[in-house]
Structure formats: structure tokens, C-alpha cells
């Protein structure tokens, strides 16, 4: 009869058979380990675990690449554990000897990842002694652990090297050296310490008359070409390269939806809470900032601070551990952090990842986005960007082989819908025994306002929007602006075409109150932003601009944009994208301008134009006046 762990598992309510190559009984796993995996509802191995288990168990060096959230940590913990436990059965005394040197050394770039790996060893092999060697921890505790003897050490290179130099850490009995997040471990900042540690391993083994009798295992989600060259000096010549990413169309997890939102830095702080509300709902969210100061500032945001904690390198290690534990346990909704949380940390229930600005390289994006959609779940990744940073999105798209869906910031209808749904879920969780205490007050409200009005007001208040919701631009997220869309049944060449419509039909509108003209991708439409106070919509749907009604014709229509259509790519003279070409400037100089300044763009003479500055007949126009 088939082992219960190998029997069918349910996927979306439908029985699905586990492939033989992923079945637990296919591999040299002890029944004790299988039972422990079952407690965690692990019914089968993930592909990277299955692909590397036998290679590691049979003594091969391995370089392994797999996408984030696919079980790389267990991929090396499982075979290493089985080998150590088998050795212990052969020599039970040596395995318990006081003062024994470690047989496994795992090196990681961050303390938080080290603690996570340590917990995996402790769960899978509770009879093995595991010890963290990390900065921020007491030397006395570490020294005592080393004196008592340990089987597995997990740490960051700095403290490991310190303990080696102090003579406390002996490496002569090592059987496994594992680098998690190998690309970062071999990069500048870690490489020198790494090299020194490995030299200590070699020299200590030579003193004992041993050769290279250990395995080296390198695991990462990203393996740039330079890493493939560098690892050759650490791995045996017959090492095995296991690449489950390869030339796949998507370097990130396929279960992640990638969104991008244009916004100025000033607007970002106003909308980020709404993005969390609309994209994460009642779920959890990780927000990445590029600097510690940005993270410290953002955690004070009025829309986040009641439900967010900050995490970065300046936070004490004990507090970081407490914060991560609280986040995993659902004590708060958001973690605002630097890249200290980007690599390896497994928080299975993260629904949303936000990048406050585009990362500077593809690998960082892959690792950040990989905090969501783990272990088969769905996830979302939202990246804010300024127009002059649009080229960074293109770099990520090409390198990670993904496609960003450029969307506008959450609009009032989106926010109200999301918060109302969340509020209803919160109401459903209220203990029924407390309801009678509010009955009399509820009756008074209903008598005064009516049932629907009273409940609507209550929902608005508990959702945090009792003072109303301001309209904001779909293109820049700037409050007080509304994005409108002109559509034509014929192609046009320039945004100045719509600019002329405003000059002729709505000359009462100040020129700087209509900005950011952009052609749609099909050349049959133009979007622009207008100060919201100039817009009104009658009950029968007629749009008025500056008090003057607009009536659609057979060739031209106007609507308030609910979502951002695909727009033509704009490039300034530096080759980077900017808002402004094809008429994004003001209309002071008419439609004959041969060069228009974009959102903080630069012209060929090196003179920067603000949001919307136009040039015509050699005369520089005045921009919107804000620079982000």
C-alpha cells in the first residue's frame, strides 16, 4: 500500500497525485524525518530539494539556483541532517562528546537568515546540537556552546572569523560548508572574509593530516555570470550545477503579479497606505526602502504607523528577532525594512511586497519580490517610480523577464471598496455577546440618520476615511488632480492636439492647471491631468470643465480615466523616460514647440525643465514648477 505521505494531495479541492520524483519515500529520508515533515504538512519535496538530495547525499559539491520561495533551505538541511544522523548511529559516543568541533558550517549574509536556517536544523534534527555564531549575540553564550561541543554552526562571516581568530572555533572536523545566498556571499563586502575563513579550514585540516574532505554547497536564487567563474576556486572540479531557473521566461516566482505606480516622492507617502489597503487587504505586507532613514521616516506615516514596525541594520538583533516573530504571528500588518529582509527570510503569509523606488539591479528585485508568493501561494509586488527612473523598470523587465503592469494609484472607488470589505470582515469577527451593550445607541442612530446612512457612516469611520478621500492623478499620484482621457477615431501625432482643444474651448482654465499630456500607445488618445476643482459631472454623466460642458462627437470623446491606458514611451535627451514629450509642457508657446521638457527632464543644453516646461521657437517655457 502506498505511504500516506505519497498519497494524493488536494489542489483546489481536486485530488492530485504526487510525482514519483517528488515523493518522500523516493529519497534516503529516515522515518523520523518523514514524520517531522508531516507535522509541517509537507507531503512531498519541492523540485530543488528533489534535484539536489541524492547529489549532496552522495558527496558531490553543488551549485544550485532556484527561484525564491521554492524551498532552498531545506534542500541542503535535509540531506546534511540524514548524513549526520547516520554517522551518529555508527559512533554514538563521538556524536555526544563534549567539546566536539562542528561538522557543518553554514554562512549567510544576514543574521536574520542565519536564525531562520538554524531553526530549520533544530526542527528537522532536534538531536543534533546547532549553534548561532552571530554579531549582536553574547560571546559568553557562544563560547560556552563551543566548549560544550556542537554539530552545526550557522553564522555571518564577520563573527565567524572573529571566533576563529580568538581560537574558540575549530574547523578541522568540518564535513559540509554551505553558502546560502551565494552570490552575495561571494561579492565585495563578504568575499575577503569568506576567503580567509576557507584558508583557515584548509590550514587546520592540513595540520590534522586531512585533505579537502568536506563538501561545499552553494545555493542562491540568482547566479550572475561572475559568480559562475568565482565559484570554481571553491568547488571541486566535478561539482554539479543544478539550475532550475535557466533561461525561463520569468526569473521570479510565476505566482507574483508585478505592478508599477508612477508617483513623485512627495505623493508616495500619501498613497502608500492606500496601496497596502487595496492590494493586501487584511493580509501582510513587506515594504522595502533603499535607506535606513527612509524606513524610519515611513514607519511614522499616519496611514501605516498603527500597524507597522521597522527593521534594518541599526535595530538591535534581539529587537529584530522580536519584530520578525510578531510579524509571523500576525501581531501587525506591515514590516518596513531595508534589504536586510530581502534575502532568504521565509515568511509564508506575505501577500504584498512594495518597493518605495526601483532597485538598482535585477538581482535585488528578484529577491525582494520573492518575499511573497512563497510555497505555492499567490502574491503581488508593487514598485513606485518617478518618471526619470522608468528606465530602471525596463532594466528589471529585461533582466528578470517579467512585465510590469503600470497602474494608477488607488482611486476613491478602489479605496472605499477595499476598506468596506475589510470593515465587514472585521465586523463579522465581533463577539456576539458584546452586541447588546450597543443596541440602544444603534437604535438612536438609525432613528436619527436611517439604517443605511448610519451604517455607512460607521463603516467610513472604522475604515479611517471619515474626513473623505481626495482625488489624485493616475499618472503622478498627486492629490488634487484628476486624469482625463480624450479618445479619437483617428490617429494623432502629438499631445499638443489636445492642448489646442483646451486653448480654444476652455481658455478660462489657467494653462498650468492642465499638465502631463501623454499619447496612448495606439496614437488614438491623449491623457492629461487637470486640477480636480475644474471638473464636475452632472447626474446624466455630462462632464464640465471650468463650468463649460463637454459634449462628445462622432470623432472625439472625453472621459474621466478610471485606469491608466498603455502610453507611448517617452524619452528625454538623456535616453531616460520622462513625462513631457509630445506636448507634456504647458501651452504658452502654442503647438509649434520642437522640444518639450518632461517631469524633471533635461534639454540638450543641460538646462533642466520642471514638470511640463515647453520650448517653442527657441524660447524656454515655464514648467509646472515642482521638482522631485
Confidence band of 136 (pLDDT split at 50, 70, 90): confident
User: Is 1 a residue whose pLDDT tops 50?
Assistant: no
Judged by DSSP in three states, 600 sits in: coil
In the chain, the percentage of residues whose pLDDT exceeds 90 is 55
Rounded Cα distance between 397 and 251, Å, is 10
Report the C-alpha gap between 626 and 267 in whole angstroms: 12
> Among 367, 304, 366, which residue's Cα sits nearest to residue 341?
367
- 244-268: pLDDT as tens digits: 987 766 778 889 999 999 998 888 8
Helices 72-90 and 47-57: angle between axes, nearest 10 degrees = 30
Using DSSP, how many helices (H) and how many strands (E) does the chain show? 19, 26
Region 70-83 average pLDDT: 96
User: 597: closest CA among 567, 627, 568?
Assistant: 627
The mean pLDDT of 405-434, rounded to a whole number, is: 85
* Cα–Cα dist 86/88, whole Å: 5
The size of the chain, in residues, is: 628
- The per-residue pLDDT for 459 is 81
Hey, how many other C-beta atoms are within 10 angstroms of the C-beta on 582? 20
Beta bridge partners of 354: 287, 382
Pairing of strands 152-155, 130-133: parallel
pLDDT digits (tens, 9 = 90+) for 30-74: 999 999 999 998 999 999 999 999 999 999 999 999 988 889 999
N-to-C CA span, the chain = 67
Mind listing the pLDDT tens digit for each residue in 557-603?
Answer: 999 998 889 888 765 434 333 433 333 333 333 333 333 333 333 33
CA-nearest of 529, 511, 513, 465 to 302 is: 465
SS3 per residue for 113-135: HHHHHHHHHHHHCCCCCEEEECC
C-beta of residue 40 within 8 angstroms of C-beta of residue 313 = no
Backbone phi, then psi, for 136, in 5-degree steps?
85, -5
Calpha distance 549→536 (Å, rounded): 9
Q: How far apart are CA 132 and CA 190, in angstroms?
A: 18
What is 601-615 written as a DSSP string? -B-TTSPBP-TT-EE
Contact 372, 345 (CB under 8 A): no
Question: What number is the average pLDDT over the span 197-201?
Answer: 93
Which residue intervals of 149-298 are DSSP H helices? 157-165, 182-185, 191-207, 225-230, 265-280, 292-298
Is residue 169 left, alpha or beta, with left meaning phi > 0 and alpha meaning psi from -120 to 50? Answer: beta
DSSP state of 567: B
Poorest-pLDDT segment among 15-19, 171-175, 334-338, 390-394:
15-19
Q: What are the grid coordinates assigned to 25, written together?
A: 519515500
For residue 128, is pLDDT > 90?
Answer: yes
pLDDT value at residue 571: 55
Mean pLDDT of the chain: 84
Mean pLDDT of all residues in 507-526: 94
Task: Report CA torsion sign: 616, 618, 622, 624.
Answer: positive
Express as a percent the part of the chain with pLDDT over 70.
86
Q: What is the DSSP letter of 520?
A: B
**Calpha distance 45→9 (Å, rounded):** 13
Pairing of strands 514-519, 525-531: antiparallel
Q: Is the pLDDT of residue 517 over 60?
A: yes
pLDDT band at 6 (very low <50, low <70, confident <90, very high): very low
pLDDT at residue number 344:
65
pLDDT of residue 580: 38
Is 432 or 470 the better-scoring residue by pLDDT?
432
Q: Are 485 and 525 in contact (CB under 8 A)?
A: yes
Alpha helices in 208-312 (DSSP H): 225-230, 265-280, 292-298
Contact 142, 71 (CB under 8 A): no
Confidence of residue 93 (pLDDT cuts 50, 70, 90): low
* Cβ atoms of 223 and 182 closer than 8 Å: yes
At residue 455, the pLDDT reads 87
The residue with cell 530602471 is: 392
Phi-psi domain of 309 (left: phi exceeds 0; alpha: psi -120 through 50; beta: other) = beta
Report pLDDT for 570.
66
Q: Write 19-23 long-range contacts (CB < 8 A, 24+).
A: 19/44, 21/50, 22/46, 22/47, 22/50
Half-sphere exposure of 114 (CA within 13 A, CB side): 27
| 99 or 91, higher pLDDT | 99
Q: Is the pLDDT of residue 346 over 80?
A: no
pTM for this prediction: 0.65
Cβ–Cβ < 8 Å for 34, 10 = no
Looking at residue 66, what DSSP letter applies? -
Q: Which of 552, 551, 431 is nearest to 488 (CA)?
A: 552
Query: Residue 501: which H helix or E strand, with range?
Result: helix 496-505
At residue 602, the pLDDT reads: 37
- CA-CA distance, 494 to 565, in Å (whole number)? 17
pLDDT in tens, 155-164: 999 999 999 9
State the Cα–Cα distance between residues 176 and 151, nearest whole angstrom. Answer: 11
Burial (CB < 10 A; 0-12, 13-18, 19+), residue 257, is middle
Residue 586, pLDDT score? 35
368 within 8 A of 355, measured Cβ to Cβ: yes
Amino acid at each position: 500500500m502506498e505511504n500516506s505521505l505519497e498519497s494524493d494531495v488536494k489542489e483546489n479541492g481536486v485530488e492530485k497525485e504526487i510525482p514519483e520524483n517528488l515523493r518522500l519515500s523516493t529519497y534516503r529520508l529516515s522515518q523520523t524525518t518523514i514524520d517531522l515533515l508531516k507535522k509541517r504538512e509537507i507531503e512531498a519535496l519541492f523540485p530543488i530539494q528533489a534535484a539536489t538530495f541524492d547529489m549532496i547525499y552522495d558527496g558531490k559539491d553543488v551549485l544550485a539556483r532556484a527561484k525564491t520561495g521554492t524551498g532552498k533551505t531545506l534542500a541542503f538541511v535535509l540531506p546534511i541532517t540524514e548524513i549526520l544522523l547516520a554517522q551518529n548511529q555508527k559512533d554514538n559516543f563521538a556524536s555526544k562528546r563534549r567539546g566536539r568541533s562542528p561538522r557543518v558550517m553554514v554562512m549567510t549574509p544576514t543574521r536574520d537568515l542565519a536564525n531562520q536556517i538554524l531553526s530549520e536544523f533544530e526542527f528537522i534534527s532536534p538531536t543534533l546540537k546547532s549553534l548561532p555564531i552571530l554579531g549582536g549575540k553574547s560571546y559568553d553564550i557562544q563560547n560556552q556552546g563551543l566548549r560544550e561541543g556542537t554539530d552545526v554552526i550557522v553564522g555571518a562571516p564577520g563573527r565567524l572569523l572573529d571566533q576563529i581568530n580568538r581560537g574558540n572555533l575549530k574547523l578541522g572536523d568540518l564535513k559540509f560548508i554551505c553558502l546560502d545566498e551565494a552570490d552575495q556571499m561571494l561579492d565585495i563586502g563578504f568575499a575577503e572574509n569568506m576567503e580567509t575563513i576557507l584558508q583557515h579550514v584548509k590550514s587546520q585540516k592540513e595540520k590534522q593530516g586531512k585533505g579537502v574532505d568536506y563538501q561545499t554547497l552553494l545555493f542562491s536564487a540568482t547566479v550572475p555570470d561572475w559568480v559562475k567563474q568565482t565559484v570554481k576556486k571553491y568547488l571541486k572540479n566535478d561539482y554539479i550545477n543544478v539550475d532550475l531557473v535557466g533561461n525561463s521566461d520569468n526569473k521570479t516566482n510565476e505566482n507574483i503579479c508585478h505592478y508599477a505606480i508612477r508617483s513623485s516622492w512627495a505623493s508616495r507617502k500619501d498613497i502608500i497606505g492606500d496601496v497596502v489597503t487595496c492590494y493586501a487587504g487584511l493580509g501582510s505586507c513587506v515594504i522595502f526602502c533603499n535607506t535606513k532613514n527612509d524606513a524610519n521616516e515611513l514607519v511614522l506615516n499616519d496611514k501605516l504607523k498603527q500597524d507597522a514596525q521597522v527593521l534594518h541594520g541599526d535595530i538591535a538583533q534581539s529587537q529584530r528577532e522580536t519584530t520578525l516573530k510578531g510579524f509571523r504571528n500576525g501581531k501587525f500588518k506591515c514590516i518596513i525594512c531595508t534589504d536586510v529582509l530581502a534575502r532568504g527570510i521565509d515568511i509564508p503569509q506575505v501577500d504584498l511586497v512594495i518597493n518605495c523606488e526601483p532597485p538598482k539591479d535585477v538581482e535585488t528585485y528578484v529577491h525582494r519580490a520573492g518575499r511573497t508568493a512563497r510555497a505555492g501561494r499567490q502574491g503581488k509586488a508593487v514598485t513606485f517610480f518617478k518618471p526619470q527612473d522608468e528606465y530602471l523598470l525596463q532594466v528589471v523587465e529585461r533582466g528578470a523577464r517579467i512585465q510590469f503592469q503600470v497602474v494608477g494609484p488607488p482611486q476613491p472607488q478602489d479605496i472605499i471598496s477595499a476598506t468596506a470589505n475589510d470593515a465587514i470582515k472585521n465586523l463579522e469577527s465581533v463577539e456576539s455577546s458584546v452586541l447588546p451593550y450597543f443596541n440602544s445607541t444603534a437604535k438612536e442612530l438609525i432613528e436619527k440618520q436611517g439604517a443605511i446612512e448610519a451604517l455607512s457612516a460607521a463603516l467610513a469611520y472604522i475604515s479611517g476615511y471619515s474626513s473623505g478621500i481626495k482625488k489624485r492623478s493616475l499618472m503622478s499620484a498627486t492629490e488634487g488632480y484628476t486624469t482625463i482621457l480624450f479618445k479619437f477615431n483617428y490617429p494623432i501625432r502629438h499631445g499638443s492636439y489636445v492642448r489646442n482643444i483646451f486653448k480654444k474651448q476652455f481658455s478660462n482654465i489657467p494653462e498650468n492647471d492642465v499638465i502631463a499630456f501623454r499619447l496612448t500607445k495606439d496614437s488614438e488618445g491623449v491623457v492629461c491631468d487637470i486640477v480636480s476643482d475644474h471638473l464636475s459631472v452632472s447626474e446624466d454623466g455630462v462632464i464640465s470643465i471650468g463650468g463649460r460642458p463637454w459634449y462628445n462627437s462622432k470623432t472625439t470623446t472625453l472621459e474621466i480615466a478610471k485606469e491608466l491606458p498603455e502610453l507611448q514611451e517617452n524619452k528625454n535627451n538623456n535616453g531616460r523616460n520622462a513625462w513631457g514629450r509630445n506636448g507634456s509642457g504647458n501651452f504658452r508657446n502654442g503647438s509649434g514647440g520642437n522640444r518639450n521638457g518632461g517631469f524633471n527632464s533635461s534639454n540638450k543644453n543641460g538646462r533642466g525643465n520642471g514638470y511640463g516646461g515647453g520650448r517653442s521657437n527657441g524660447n524656454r517655457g515655464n514648467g509646472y514648477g515642482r521638482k522631485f
